[in-house]
Structure 1
């Protein structure tokens, strides 16, 4: 089982923590970097190979992770010379990937079963499998519905439920065959292209623990919760 970790971003939203460290290496708790937790989880789930897409401060990631032997994995790297979007880096490494593989961001904390995501992707025959999570957005205002200058409905401070992408995907190499290596390709562009061709992605709905560490508030929350969540996040690792 092969995983690709996307770790080439600059982590602008997480500054100043990412001024000297790439985002996947910011520490969680007293002992672990985010990327280390992810790699330990992948190894425990049965993944034996991993390719890490690096860019900003990528040599620090390479020095920290090495060849992956400390986690019982074989790890190689793909360097992103210029920003290629979420899916663009995959186009430069397709020749070293199996037909079905896992793709994930390198800055998330979750107890998601990565192996089951890949298993369901293999079984579904879908071009792309997206791990999804329920989010509730609270609107702190009274919401009006208007029609031709008249108020026709009113809701006081409603909550809206969404399912959002967790940044974890099952992907087929053939899905990317029509795109050009070296050009940017975003996750949004890929999904919209699949919808246009009536070849929709498969949804892997998840209800466990998930935190996207993209902003200082998220990072502070991750550190505050890690001690109580450690046995959940690193079970079997």
Structure 2
């Protein structure tokens, strides 16, 4: 199995940590970089190769990861000269991708079985599989429902439940046919195009451990919890 790791972002939300380090290399628990944890997990899940899409401070990622042999992987690189969105970098490496593969952000911490995402994607025969996670969003205001200038409903500081994208996808290469290499392509644009074409993505619902390290609060939480969750995230290590 093959994975593409998206690691070209500038990590603006994590400054000053990302001033000198690319976001996927910020430390977790003072022991491991996020990207190292991801690569270990991919190898554990049965992946044999991956391509890392790099951009901002990409030379540091190259120096750190090398050819991936220390984790039992064959690692190659694709350089993003300008921002291409979530899916845009894939268009520049189409000739190196298998029919089905994993795509993931390089800044997430989870015990998701990446291999199972690809297996379910293959079985679903869907153009795209999106790993989803339940998030509760608290509204810190009293919320009014109005009609014709009158208040007809009220809820005091309600919370809303959503399933959000985890930044992990199973993708079929043919799904990207017709898009132009070198132009930006976002995850949102791809999903909306698939829905418009009545070819909906498959949802891989997950309820284990997941943090988006691009969010400062989640990064702080990841460091605080790493000792407790190390065995969960680095099985066998």
Q: Could you state the TM-score of these two structures normalised by the residue count of structure 2?
A: 0.99
Q: Shift of residue 216 of structure 1?
A: 2.3
Q: Shift of residue 215 of structure 1?
A: 2.7
Decide whether the 8 Å contact of 1:7 with 1:24 is kept in 2.
yes
Per-residue CA deviations over 1:34-92 (Å, capped at 9, x if unaligned) read: 00000000000000000000000000000000000000110000000000000000000
Q: Structure 2: which 5+ runs fail to align?
A: none
**What is aligned with 2:118?**
118
Distance 1:178 1:134 in 2: 33
Aligned residue runs from structure 1 range 145-160, under 5 A: 145-160=145-160
Per-residue CA deviations over 1:206-225 (Å, capped at 9, x if unaligned) read: 00000001132221111001
Aligned residue runs from structure 1 range 40-55, under 5 A: 40-55=40-55
Distance 1:187 1:78 in 2: 18
Aligned: 1:37 with 2:37: yes
Aligned residue runs from structure 1 range 58-77, under 5 A: 58-77=58-77
Q: Shift of residue 165 of structure 1?
A: 0.1
135-144 or 190-199, which moves further after superposition? Answer: 135-144
Q: Shift of residue 197 of structure 1?
A: 0.2
Aligned: 1:89 with 2:96: no
Aligned residue runs from structure 1 range 169-184, under 5 A: 169-184=169-184
Per-residue CA deviations over 1:5-35 (Å, capped at 9, x if unaligned) read: 0000000111000000000000001210000
Q: Shift of residue 105 of structure 1?
A: 0.2
Distance 1:139 1:61 in 2: 39
Aligned: 1:222 with 2:222: yes
Q: Structure 1: which 5+ runs fail to align?
A: none
Q: Secondary structure at the match of 1:42?
A: helix
Distance 1:138 1:59 in 2: 40
Per-residue CA deviations over 1:123-161 (Å, capped at 9, x if unaligned) read: 000000000000001112111100010001111111100
Task: Note the aligned Cα RMSD (angstroms).
Answer: 0.7
**What is aligned with 1:3?**
3
212-221 or 2-11, which moves further after superposition? Answer: 212-221
Distance 2:236 2:79 in 1: 31
Q: Could you state the TM-score of these two structures normalised by the residue count of structure 1?
A: 0.99
Distance 1:19 1:217 in 2: 18
Distance 1:211 1:229 in 2: 12
Q: Secondary structure at the match of 2:18?
A: coil
190-199 or 207-216, which moves further after superposition? Answer: 207-216
